[in-house]
């Protein structure tokens, strides 16, 4: 068995996978915040929803991983349930990102809602019209690489995490220690 196979075998154990899924979501969140802060690409409301999906996955992965390692020896059924939870949350992330990416590519129209203005007075609204603002549209990608937007890459990565999570749930008993 090669070193890569050994590492892949260890990382895809049901008692380890929740942490790996959480770390992948943490990396995607760090990338999103990096694009916003360093690259100056402000997020649209759908981008924010995608971040929440990864925040849920990150929290669930860390909590279930910690719980698994407090319950020494790890309960195999709980480990598989934790991996199934990661699969569901990664699927939700892929769905939210897919909705956004589909709108960006023109497959459907997006209803991108702005913030609540019910408590805004008419005077405050009129004075805000004098202040230049950068309106971020949900149906126009702020950044692309090889024709794929950030939401598109989020779909791809989240879908891969979901598929690996499903494989981990149905994986044969641990092959490595």
Provide the pLDDT confidence category of residue 177 given band limits of 50, 70 and 90. Answer: very low
pLDDT digits (tens, 9 = 90+) for 137-157: 777 778 778 988 888 999 999
Is 93 part of any domain? yes
Contact 22, 62 (CB under 8 A): yes
Average pLDDT score over the chain? 83
Residue 7 maps to a domain: no
User: What is the DSSP code (8-state) at residue 7?
Assistant: H
pTM (whole model) above 0.85:
no
Domain holding 68, by residue range, is 13-109+137-169
pLDDT at position 176, please?
43
Of 62, 65, 91, 90, the C-alpha closest to 78 is 65
Q: Is 90 inside a domain boundary?
A: yes
Q: How far apart are CA 123 and CA 112, in angstroms?
A: 25
Q: Report if residue 116 sits inside a domain.
A: no
Q: Is 4 a member of any domain?
A: no
Residue 71 has pLDDT above 90, yes or no: no
- Per-residue model confidence as pLDDT tens digits over 76-114: 788 888 899 999 999 999 999 999 899 888 888 877 765
Q: Round to whole Å and give the CA distance between 81 and 169.
A: 7
Question: How many domains are contained in the chain?
Answer: 1
CATH of the domain at 145: 1.20.1550
In a domain, 123, yes or no: no
DSSP string, 17-86: HHHHHHHHHHHHHHHHHHHHHTS--PPPHHHHHHHHHHHHHHHHHHHHHHHHHHSSSPPHHHHHHHHHHH
**6 lies in some domain:** no
pLDDT at 165 over 90: yes
With respect to residue 49, please indicate whether it lies within any of the assigned structural domains: yes
Per-residue pLDDT band at 74 (split at 50, 70, 90): low
The first and second tokens of residue 5, run together, are: 């196979």
Residue 106 has a pLDDT of 83
């Amino acid at each position: 068995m090669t070193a890569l196979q050994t590492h892949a075998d260890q990382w895809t154990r049901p008692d380890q996978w929740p942490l790996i899924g959480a770390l992948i979501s943490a990396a995607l969140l760090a990338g999103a915040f990096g694009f916003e802060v360093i690259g100056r690409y402000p997020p649209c409301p759908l981008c924010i929803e995608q971040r929440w999906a990864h925040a849920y996955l990150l929290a669930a992965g860390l909590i279930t991983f910690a719980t698994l390692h407090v319950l020494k020896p790890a309960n195999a059924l709980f480990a598989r349930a934790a991996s199934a939870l990661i699969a569901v949350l990664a699927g939700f992330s892929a769905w939210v990102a897919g909705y956004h990416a589909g709108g960006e590519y023109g497959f459907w129209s997006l209803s991108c809602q702005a913030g609540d203005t019910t408590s805004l007075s008419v005077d405050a609204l009129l004075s805000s019209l004098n202040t230049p603002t950068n309106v971020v549209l949900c149906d126009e990608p702020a950044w692309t690489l090889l024709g794929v937007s950030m939401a598109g890459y989020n779909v791809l990565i989240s879908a891969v995490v979901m598929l690996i999570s499903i494989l981990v749930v149905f994986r044969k008993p641990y092959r490595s220690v």
